[in-house]
Amino acid sequence: MTSKSIPLRQLWLPSACLLLMVGGGLALFTRSLWNLNGWPQFLEFWQASLHPDLTAPLMATAWQGLLTTLAYAICGTALSVCLGFVGSIFISDVGRQVLGIAPHFSQGLKSLLVVPRAIHEMLWGLLLINVWGLDPLVAIAAITIPFSAIVAKVFSDILDDTPHQALEAIRQSGGRPLNAFLYGLLPSASTNLLSYSFYRFECSLRSAATLGIIGVGGLGHEIFLSLQSLQYQQVWTFIYALMILNGVIDWSSARCRQRLGCQTRISLHLKNTPIKQVHSQRPEPERSFSNNLLYCILVVVVLVGAVAWSWLYIGPDLATLVAPQTWRNSQQIFVELWPLQPSLTLLETVDASLQTLSMAFIAILGAGCGGIVFSFGTAANFFLPGGLFLPQPASLWHQGLGRLIVGAVRLFLLICRSVPAPIWALVMLFIVFPGVLPGAIALGIHNLGILGRLMAEVNENLDQKPLAALQAQGASSPSVFLYGVLPMTLPRFLAYSCYRWEVGMRETVIVGLVGAGGLGRLLSEQLSSFDSSGVVWTLGCFILLSLGVDWLSQYLRQQLQLI
């Protein structure tokens, strides 16, 4: 038997991952890591979670911060989804082939959208504050600009991956291209479009809390101020308010997706992963369609009302866009950019870039592994009565234990994803010296909560027929898990981890702004010293790194489709 050699071109990916791990290890273990003097404050912070401040004035402040955060998220999501949908038509293959959009214009716009997508919303907020001041428009625009580009990219993929049989049938029968798009393609793609819009709203909520750190208000702002003044009881009051808000939005969006037949928050188009079919279980399709149509109308009415309330509540001043001071501030920023030259040596820039790459890789590696483990604890079809590890009949003690496990894991993941990553970084800086490690831990904790929930949905939507077949043949629960569950879920788990790696790369800059290290730390120093030219060069390096990670993540997801 002849051995099959591995082509050298297939070895670059493992080599790159090994380089990141080695670089991360060198960045971690070539310096002092733990600050033992900070342990008393760290323990005091967690002890305060047992007795938060529930006085009436603070509860009123928490309520106002909650409404402000919610209003920012609603306005940012509404604008980004509308703009992103229009942009997706112009950059999609459907737009070029069906609607006749010029290929050069489509490719140029697609390349142009890379820049706003690569820069985190917190950086957009810092830039816009220098132009508009502390106006609510800053938070809305900081969410809208990058999220519109992200939505355009994802929506274009959804439109291109949706089956085009109905669209082609209308075109071949003489229908106009616009009618073919509206009646042949859009209804089929609407489920995934709505599903991702709900997911983007959840992301906007987390971004609105993060933007509070730069002073635009909301729960994130209150948490940051209380943490700086070491008022840990107040910190936990605001954290619990943020958890409640995230939990309610999470549950509400899940119910809406379930009612509309959406299986997951975001579809990564892994065609070989068996997922149970929801629509096939409905016995009355005509009545179901009528009910869904009425439900969609109701949802649209509620959303329009929510957007109107949010805009009136935060009261952004549109006159700021054309104010003379805005024009003067913009001119001053552009004048300060020249001469455009780096303020750091090449060696310092490369070192900070490697730290940033290592931080993102270590964070997503820990979050991905932890998300896989915790996703089974929070899924409803494993530890709840009737699940894989708690088959019926089960004693009341076992049922109570199963519900306790699921509830505890869901609460843990909710805490992880509700608290913004910069807050986690500030907490970790109590016991860890500034560098790669506190940033990696903070990003890992935050992304663990997100990945755990996304992966849990994969578990809950698994096709149960293969698992039932294994159980019918006498396989034990561990055997069904190893040979039935993992082979079906692992490709999607890895795809979600790759997707969050892209997001984690963007988030490295915000934990760096609070002292975690990497390019974010350099950016923080340049912003504080008003080094506009250095900020541009650092952002350029960060955009290039983000583009590289985006390309690599997309390549890995494409390879996972072949498994």
| pLDDT per residue of the chain (563 residues) written in tens, 0 to 9 | 443 444 444 445 555 555 555 555 545 544 567 778 888 889 999 999 999 999 999 999 999 999 999 999 999 999 999 999 999 989 988 888 777 788 888 888 888 888 888 888 888 988 888 888 888 999 999 999 999 999 998 898 888 888 888 888 888 888 788 888 888 888 888 878 888 888 899 899 999 999 988 888 899 999 999 998 989 999 999 999 999 999 999 888 888 777 776 666 666 555 444 455 443 333 344 444 455 567 667 777 888 899 999 999 998 888 888 888 888 888 877 777 676 666 666 777 788 888 888 888 889 999 999 999 998 888 877 777 777 777 777 778 777 888 888 889 999 999 999 888 888 988 888 888 887 888 889 999 999 999 998 898 888 888 777 877 887 787 777 788 888 888 888 888 888 888 888 888 888 888 877 777 778 888 877 777 777 777 888 888 888 888 888 888 777 777 766 55
pLDDT at 17: 56
- CB burial class (10 A; 0-12, 13-18, 19+) of residue 306? middle
- Helices and strands (H, E) in the chain, number of each type: 24, 0
Give CA–CA dist 22/362, Å, rounded.
11
What Rg do the C-alpha atoms of the chain give, in angstroms?
25
pTM of the model: 0.84
With contact defined as beta carbons under 8 Å apart, do 503 and 146 qualify?
no
Specify the 3-state DSSP secondary structure of 61: helix
Give CA–CA dist 305/320, Å, rounded.
25
Give CA–CA dist 491/494, Å, rounded.
5
- Report CA 245 to chain centroid distance, whole Å: 17
Neighbours of 380 (CB within 10 A): 14
pLDDT at 534: 78
Give CA–CA dist 266/130, Å, rounded.
35
- Report CA 348 to chain centroid distance, whole Å: 30
SS3 for 411-457, per residue? HHHHHHHHCCHHHHHHHHCCCECCCHHHHHHHHHHHHHHHHHHHHHH
Domains of the chain, CATH where assigned: 12-32+344-560 (1.10.3720.10), 54-267+283-315 (1.10.3720.10)
> For 119, which DSSP code?
S
- Which residue do the tokens 């040979």 mark? 483
Specify the 3-state DSSP secondary structure of 234: helix
Q: Determine if residue 425 is left, alpha or beta; phi over 0 gives left, psi from -120 to 50 gives alpha, anything else beta.
A: alpha
310-311-312 Cα angle (round to 5): 90
